[in-house]
Amino acid sequence: MVTNRTFSARLAQYALVIFMILVLLTCIIPIWHTVAVSFSHKSYAAAGMVDFWPKGFNTIAYQQILADPVFVNSFFVSVKRVLLGGGINFLLAVLMAYPLSRSPQEFRFRNIYMWFLVFTMLFSGGIVPLYILMKSLGLFNSIWALVLPGAVPVFNVILLVNFFRSIPKDLVEAGHIDGAGPWYMLFKIFIPISTPALATITLFSVVGHWNAFFDGLIFMRTPEHYPLQTYIQQLVVQLNTQSIDSTQVELLSKLSNQTLNAAKLVVAIVPILTVYPFIQRHFIHGIMLGSVKE
Amino acid sequence: MKYRSNQAHYHMMLLPGLLLLVVFSIIPMAGIVMAFQDFKIGLGIWRSPWIGLQNFKYLFELSDSRVIFYNTIFIAVFKIIGNLLVPLTFAILLNELRGRFFKRFVQTVVYVPHFLSWVILSGIIVEMTTTDGLVNQIVKAFGGEPIIFLASNQWFPVILISSDIWKEFGFGTIIYLAALTGINPSLYEAAVIDGASRPQQIRYITLPLLVPTFILLATLSIGNVLNAGFDQVFNLYNPLVYESGDIIDTYVYRAGLINAQFGLATAVGLMKSVISFLLIIVSYTLASRFANYRIF
């Protein structure tokens, strides 16, 4: 491509770079600031004197968190939830996407099943009936309450269906001729060549499970069963006390121990930031392949 | 027919997922009858008295319902507009950036907020918007009075809308970037030979070629007009800003699960679900007719 490196073009390029750096800063600063607060001395944080660098550096907040059995426990509830829920999501997505990716000639009921899935994705009974169902199933306080309602990741199934359909027909036919049945085709051919799509849906469901707080809040009756986000929501975020005026909003956010809160947020962010870079390069590819249809 | 023998296997693969969907998605739909009952948890669905459309009548008489419907639509519409335009602009600008490494770095970083929960981001926002938080320090530096953003009905919707756009713009960019990589480079080469400057190339090539993607996304977003974002509002609001920030979903939560008005909450939820469902059907029909888009 021909590029004209005139003065104005270069100026525009510099302006663009500066703009991009500003945008980057808006994405980084809130997180960076939280990290800085978490390592600061309590009194500096409460006085609002910490901006981008810890003042009165210490790790007391993190020591306190580690010594808080409820926090540590909720962290492991979340880990358990991610592994169990993520595993179930993965298995069900793969199992459902394969038959649904076959043409109606190959699998006669395909379209009926597909519409059923889309219907459940678009329409729901709402939270009140779900709450009553979980209560009557006796699932309150059980990890299954966090895992089962979202066990079928319908959106991910559709992404994967679209990805599977882009796999060349020749490959499938070659498999059939060699006598491969559906299970063999799925586990030995489709899954191994679908890494980008599988990485994408895995990231989505793992992040979804890690970030969910609401089901923990309504289905878990005691704090020992809270997943991490629900724990944080209850202690760090919630300002919804019954009677409140504007000075109290201020007071509540000031009285709370900011360094401790910040440290809790950081602990909840770190796992995501560690996993994210490894999957990032796959997911853009995965989303694009899953969304483009011919 | 050579495929005939596979049918049973396909059904078996679908079975576990379908069972779970029936239990956790279809059965709760039966709970919708509560909208037509004076539901008492002690009596259950079978024995609670039927009251017909009373819950819906009550809903229309409630002064709260006007506020929550208005807030929901107001917040959702501005979020939709922002979430369409900001990623479009950002994708075009990013596309103009030279230097592959820097470009990829920018992309990687701007996706990050999308992956953080509203619980975490609310924690950060609350901390940053107190009177001596980071945001108010900037306000003070420019000679302004510190504002209690999260207790002000004037500012609360602004915070909701802007923080949502901020969280999602990076991720929203992906689809536009995909469309941009699909543009034939020879178009730009021809334009350069004709003497077009960069701004002219954007104006006459890039923008027109992004219009179909834009229209598709705009059409699909029609279905979200009643989704103003439960997680975000729930984690940021407090009774002081109910007036400007309470939305259908948060109201259903409070009425239903906190105040045990199950019938009323289900009626509100049902109304929202039905309207949303119809809007989604309309938007997908439009998308498939005019943009040749199919879900599967």
pLDDT digits (tens, 9 = 90+) for A132-160: 899 999 999 999 999 999 999 999 999 99
**Mutation target among A4, A34, A37, A128 for the B interface, most CBs of B within 10 A:** A128
Q: Is residue A63 part of a domain?
A: no
Residue A282 inside a domain? The answer is yes
Number of domains present in the structure of chain A: 2
Neighbour count for residue B41 (Cβ, 10 Å): 10
pLDDT at A5: 64
Q: Reply yes or no on whether the pLDDT at A173 is more than 60.
A: yes
Share of chain A above pLDDT 70, in %: 88
With CA atoms as reference, the chain B residue closest to A251 would be B130
Query: In terms of domains, do A132 and A25 share one?
Result: no
Both tokens of residue A145? Answer: 């309450």
Mutation target among B15, B22, B24, B90 for the A interface, most CBs of A within 10 A: B24
Percent of chain A at pLDDT > 90 equals 59
A276 contacts in B (CB within 8 Å)? 112, 115
Domain residues of chain B, as ranges? 63-291
Same domain, A206 and A263: yes
In a domain, A87, yes or no: yes
Domain contains A111 = yes
Tell me: do A246 and A140 sit in the same domain. yes
Do residues B94 and B103 lie in contact, with contact meaning Cβ atoms separated by under 8 Å? yes
CB contact under 8 A, A126 and B273: yes
pLDDT at A249: 64
Tell whether A59 is covered by a domain. no
Q: Which residues of chain B have pLDDT under 70?
A: 1-4
Of chain B residues 50-89, which have a CB less than 8 A from chain A? none
pLDDT, mean of residues A164-185: 88
| A49 — pLDDT class (breaks 50, 70, 90) | confident
Residue B76: exposure state from Cβ atoms within 10 A (0-12, 13-18, ≥19): buried
A253 pLDDT exceeds 70?
A: no
Question: What pTM does this model have?
Answer: 0.90
Q: Is the Cβ–Cβ distance between B266 and A126 less than 8 Å?
A: yes
In this complex, is the C-beta atom of A251 within 8 Å of any C-beta atom belonging to chain B? no
**A86 & A17 share domain:** no
Q: What's the pLDDT tens digit per position in B128-166? A: 888 888 888 889 889 888 888 988 999 999 999 999 999
Picking from B31, B134, B175, the nearest residue to A129 by CB comes out as B31
Q: What is the pLDDT of residues A50-83, one digit of tens each?
A: 888 898 899 999 999 999 999 999 999 999 999 9
A129 and A190 assigned to the same domain: yes
H/E stretch holding A218? helix A214-219
CATH of segment(s) B63-291: 1.10.3720.10
Q: Does position A3 have pLDDT exceeding 70, yes or no?
A: no
Give the helix, strand, coil percentages of chain A, each rounded to 5: 75, 0, 25
Q: Contacts for B1-10 with beta carbons within 8 Å, 24 or more apart? A: B2/A176, B3/A105, B3/A106, B3/A107, B6/A106, B6/A107, B6/A181, B6/A182, B7/A107, B7/A108, B7/A109, B9/A99, B9/A181, B9/A182, B9/A183, B10/A98, B10/A99, B10/A102, B10/A107, B10/A109, B10/A182
Sequence-separated (6 or more) residues with CB below 8 Å from residue B35 = B55, B56, B263, B266, B267, B269, B270
Span A44-48, average pLDDT: 82
Give the structural domain span for A28: 7-47
Chain B residues in contact with A181 (beta carbon < 8 A)? 6, 9
Residues A43 and A186 in one domain: no
Indicate whether A223 belongs to any domain: yes
In this structure, the answer to whether residues A18 and A158 fall within a common structural domain is no
Count of CB contacts below 8 A, A vs B?
A: 293
On whether residue A261 sits in a domain, the answer given is yes
